[in-house]
Amino acid sequence: MNKQSFLDLLTRYQQGNCTESEKIWLNQWYNLLGDKNIKNLSSVELNEMKDTIWLKLEKHTQKPTKTRTLKPVWFKVAIAASITIAFVISGLYLTRNRSEQSFLNANSELSLISKTNTSSKPILILLSDKSEITLKPNASIIYPKVFAVNGRKVYLKGDAFFSISKNPRKPFYVYNNNLVVRVLGTSFFIKESAHDLPAEVSVRTGKVRIDENTDCRLITLPGTQVAKPVLLTPNQKGVYKNHVINSTVVEEPILLSVAYNKREVADYNFKEERLSAIFKTLSKAYGIEIKSANSEILDYTFTGDMNSKGLYEQLSLICGSISGKYDVIGTTILVSNKK
């Protein structure tokens, strides 16, 4: 099999265009690796794998007599065997997630604690640096009894809310199946991908950076797509799927004064207030950019008490008064006229 055939094979596997027999071959021959990591296999070991496959084939193709022939049907099997070697590698590359084991290996010198929430309610876990983790039901967390000198790292499976103590000289990292979240001092929620749903990180306070966790791969082929990192601020969330991280606005934005436990001073009871001033007030209050599609909208005025309403309800009332609409575009909210 040449290089191009191998790459075509990988592409078909990624697109789900493999036959059932090819998938069966993959499962059958994967056991040849045992507990070995494909990264650590030498060319000699790979050749040994190939020889083992051929020995198994040869055993099945032998006749009772001394004369042995390889019938045409077995040539097809032999071809399938060579394809299998590629599938062993591509199957490990595409389906075996090694992120948790990579985390354990990288932190093997530390005394690690593993906890799983087996209850039906969230549980609170206090870390050695006074950071807090609210672990959702069925979620688990791996963390050091005492953090390392150069960083604070934990591994999450499932959903959890984090409230991280500030320490600029010692950043905090949360690893999971898909992502690596880097923070200094903030609070945020991580939702792990499940049942074809994307993984999500929602920020309540502070700022976080999200990267794709490439440790889940055993090998990285040339040209492999890796998500571009994104920075998130309060009321923003990152959505990861198919090696892409998109940033948008959370489903229920909260006032920054509430998130940071500060006394509220703004008044949202507007009387004949220009929308340009209202948008500026709301943008500052929620940390979300609110723009208009044209300058004419900014000159409209609005009267109404919106102190007890959430951002989206506030925008709905404003848009209703001007026969307009709003759309969430990335991390920005755009107000425009209805067409």
Note the pTM of the prediction, 2 decimals. Answer: 0.69
Question: Are the beta carbons of 142 and 163 closer than 8 angstroms?
Answer: no
Confidence class for position 338, pLDDT limits 50, 70, 90: confident
Q: Are residues 227 and 264 in the same domain?
A: no
Average pLDDT over residues 176-187: 88
Instruction: Report how far residue 140's alpha carbon sits from residue 71's, in angstroms, rounded to the nearest whole number.
Output: 54
Tens digit of each residue's pLDDT (9 = 90 or more) over 31-83: 444 444 444 444 555 455 545 544 554 554 454 444 444 444 444 444 444 44
CATH value at residue 275: 3.55.50.30
Average pLDDT, the chain: 78
Instruction: Report how far residue 8's alpha carbon sits from residue 11's, in angstroms, rounded to the nearest whole number.
Output: 5
Q: Are residues 142 and 240 in the same domain?
A: yes
Cα angle vertex 50, ends 55, 43, to 5°? 145
Give the total number of structural domains in the chain: 3
The first and second tokens of residue 17, run together, are 């265009």
Number of neighbouring beta carbons within 10 Å of residue 286: 23
Q: Alpha helices of the chain — where are they, by DSSP H?
A: 3-14, 20-30, 43-61, 72-95, 99-106, 256-259, 275-286, 295-298, 311-321
Q: Are residues 144 and 286 in the same domain?
A: no
Indicate the residue among 227, 249, 271 that finishes a domain.
Answer: 249
Instruction: Report how far residue 210's alpha carbon sits from residue 181's, in angstroms, rounded to the nearest whole number.
Output: 5
- In this predicted structure, the answer to whether residue 1 has a pLDDT above a threshold of 50 is no
Q: Alpha helices of 287-330 — where are they, by DSSP H?
A: 295-298, 311-321
Confidence class for position 24, pLDDT limits 50, 70, 90: very low
Domain hosting residue 79, numbered range: 3-95
Q: Are residues 24 and 83 in the same domain?
A: yes
Instruction: Report how far residue 212's alpha carbon sits from residue 176's, in angstroms, rounded to the nearest whole number.
Output: 10
Q: Are residues 214 and 261 in the same domain?
A: no
